[in-house]
Amino acid sequence: MGQPFHAAVRDFLDGRIWLRRHTPFKQDIIDRHIKEGFIQTIPGIQTTNAFLNQKRHICNRCENNDSTQFTTFQCAKCEGLCTYCRKCLKMGRVSSCTDLIIWSGEPILFPTKHTLAWNGTLTPHQQKAADELTDSTENGRPHLIHAVCGSGKTEILFPPIHQLLLAGKRVCLAAPRVDVILELEPRLKAAFPETTIVALYGGAEQKTEASQLVLATTHQLYRFRHAFDAVFVDEADAFPYTADLTLRQAVQKAAKPKAPVHYVTATPSDELLTTIKKTGSISTINRRYHGYPLPVPRYESLWNYEKQLKKGKLPQKLNEWVAARLKKREPFLVFFHHIGLMEQAEPLFQALDSRIRSVHAAHPDRKEHVQALRNKQLPGLLTTTILERGITIPNIQVAVVGAEQKIFDKGALIQIGGRVGRSVNFPSGDFVLFHNGITYAMDDAKREIGMLNKGSMGI
């Protein structure tokens, strides 16, 4: 071998799987590293013959193998039939004639000096869960932290993450939603001031330095391969993580072959519970960190609310609820099941207070509006289920309009209720389900909250 490798190239590429033509480095630098064996190339799409001359494709980046997610075309570059993956298209197209590159030289040596600057104390319940999680990590066993909303899940992760960092290991904290990552970033940066931390999500600024602690949306893990000694998936049941098999495979692929993948959630799916029961261990916390019970939802009928809203009339009960919040100066969230309906209702709410805004996943000012609600510049927000988790605002009051809708399943309702009463100073609050008929999901959520509360009284 001739020249040594560029440290910057290694720092960027180690643990990642990247498009050969789209690195932050000049093409000739990458080519030289490939020639000298520091970087290995793999074809973008792997194609094998299957039954009756049909082709089976696998995308080597996102591991998608759903035949409906591939398109084959006559390629002008390789002058033949070429197949590309539509699943991870938005990260730059991967096709049969695209090379992916992985680092195959010396791995990065991460520092072993880290401080945990968080100076709170864990409750006995949190401490127990943290110890169990550390133990599972040491034994390479997947672990589920099943903890109610507002029980301080993030803090439970601090000791095990600290342990891993001290051993020079690389750690990933992943969550399906950007909002969760955005909320976690400042907290982790404050807790681990000496650690290199990077937050990756769609639209984040790209950095080339090596980071030992990676915060990422689960989508971004498509771009990692055998990188982490442990992966923690926060809010493990949030859409699209639950719905998408490819995403789950991507998380597994991002971890080193025998590294454990841990899950943290308040509402684990039955599937997750059964898998973990078979292969790993579970810690349950049914008490909030401040010890007060979870807010129990109350039902309010709001017959034909959809018709009324479409007619330009704010149903009376909803009107009164919002007016009461405004009068008491309590911040509030109103959840809707459908963006269109929410936008129709927005001017009706604005008639009560012109500062009320609405947010949804694709809203350009989503981050700003949520921040404005935190800063008390806005009295309240209308939202889709996008804000059902990960956000903490003291004294927030919550209403769900159309709680009978399918999208509000048991998990979603428990999460939404989990926004209420999270702070010690305001440990309770109103959690009202405006409905056009009571569903099983509503009853299930209410019953589960009741059971968790009973459990927490008993201890």
- Residues of this chain that interact with other proteins (CB under 8 A) are 68, 71, 73-77, 82, 84, 86, 89-90, 92-93, 95, 97
Query: Residue 327 is which amino acid?
Result: K
In the complex with other proteins, which residue's Cβ is closer, 74 or 425?
74
Collapsing DSSP to helix, strand or coil, 314 comes out as coil
Paired sense of beta strands 298-301 and 431-435, if any: parallel
Q: How many residues does the chain have?
A: 459
The percent helix, strand, coil of the chain (3-state, each to 5) is 35, 20, 40
191-224 burial, b at 16+ Cβ within 10 Å, e below that, comes to bbeebbbbbbbeebeeeeebbbbbbbbbbbbbbb
Minimum CB distance to other proteins, residue 290 (Å): 41
Confirm if 61 and 246 have CB atoms less than 8 A apart: no
Retrieve residue 41's tokens. 């190339």
In the complex with other proteins, which residue's Cβ is closer, 3 or 74?
74
Paired sense of beta strands 39-43 and 197-200, if any: unpaired
In the complex with other proteins, which residue's Cβ is closer, 340 or 437?
340
Minimum CB distance to other proteins, residue 194 (Å): 39
Confirm if 183 and 192 have CB atoms less than 8 A apart: no
Minimum CB distance to other proteins, residue 240 (Å): 10
Minimum CB distance to other proteins, residue 339 (Å): 10
CA distance 62 to 58: 8
What are the angstrom distances between the C-alpha of 230 and each of 140, 174, 255, 267?
Answer: 8, 11, 6, 22
Minimum CB distance to other proteins, residue 439 (Å): 21
Q: For residue 335, what are the contacts with CB-CB under 8 A and spacing of at least 6?
A: 383, 384, 385, 387, 388, 398, 399, 400, 401, 408, 416
93-113 burial, b at 16+ Cβ within 10 Å, e below that, comes to ebbbebbbbbbebeebebeee
In the complex with other proteins, which residue's Cβ is closer, 93 or 317?
93
In the complex with other proteins, which residue's Cβ is closer, 75 or 166?
75
Minimum CB distance to other proteins, residue 87 (Å): 9
Minimum CB distance to other proteins, residue 93 (Å): 5
Minimum CB distance to other proteins, residue 14 (Å): 27
In the complex with other proteins, which residue's Cβ is closer, 90 or 311?
90
Q: For residue 4, what are the contacts with CB-CB under 8 A and spacing of at least 6?
A: none
Minimum CB distance to other proteins, residue 76 (Å): 5
In the complex with other proteins, which residue's Cβ is closer, 76 or 109?
76
Minimum CB distance to other proteins, residue 289 (Å): 38
End-to-end CA distance of the chain: 65
Minimum CB distance to other proteins, residue 71 (Å): 4
In the complex with other proteins, which residue's Cβ is closer, 82 or 393?
82
Backbone phi and psi for residue 451, each to the nearest 5 degrees, phi listed first? -65, -45
Minimum CB distance to other proteins, residue 138 (Å): 40
Q: For residue 257, what are the contacts with CB-CB under 8 A and spacing of at least 6?
A: 226
> CA torsion, points 39, 40, 44, 50, in degrees to nearest 10?
-170
In the complex with other proteins, which residue's Cβ is closer, 86 or 187?
86
In the complex with other proteins, which residue's Cβ is closer, 100 or 261?
100
Confirm if 92 and 86 have CB atoms less than 8 A apart: no
In the complex with other proteins, which residue's Cβ is closer, 351 or 361?
361
- DSSP letters along 382-399, please? EE-GGGSSS---TT-EEE
In the complex with other proteins, which residue's Cβ is closer, 82 or 175?
82
